[in-house]
């Protein structure tokens, strides 16, 4: 089984809107992706178990958002990683 490796550049994800656009494009989310945490969770749950998502330049990740918003997004990513055997890496 081949691992699908996707890199998300945090320099392009300084706002939540930018993050949603970037991850939706990178992971080919469906057109009806709702740009919210529930929709993110749903779309991540549909990825292959062999998927790897790497978030680079993490110091810039959602830097223009509140800590609460950033932590909520990270919680969804962590939940998807544990529930669906995804590999989420930050660097």
**Tell me, what's the pLDDT at 65?**
98
Where on the phi/psi map is residue 50: left (φ > 0), alpha (ψ -120 to 50), or beta?
Answer: alpha
pLDDT(1) > 60? no
Tens digits of per-residue pLDDT, 36-86?
Answer: 999 999 999 988 767 899 999 999 999 999 999 999 999 999 999 998 878
Q: Which tens digits make up the pLDDT trace of 16-36?
A: 999 999 999 999 999 999 999
**In whole angstroms, what is the distance from residue 91 CA to residue 32 CA?**
30
Rounded to 5°, the CA angle 83-64-80 comes to 5
pLDDT of residue 2: 61
Rounded Cα distance, 13 and 60, in Å: 7
Whole-prediction pTM value?
0.91
């Amino acid at each position: 089984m081949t691992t699908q490796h996707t890199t998300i550049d945090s320099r392009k994800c300084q706002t939540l809107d930018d993050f949603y656009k970037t991850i939706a494009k990178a992971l080919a989310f469906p057109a009806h992706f709702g740009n919210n945490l529930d929709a993110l969770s749903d779309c991540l749950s549909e990825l292959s178990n062999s998927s790897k998502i790497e978030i680079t330049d993490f110091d810039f990740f959602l830097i223009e958002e509140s800590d609460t918003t950033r932590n909520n997004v990270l919680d969804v990513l962590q939940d998807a990683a544990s529930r669906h055997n995804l590999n989420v890496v930050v660097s």
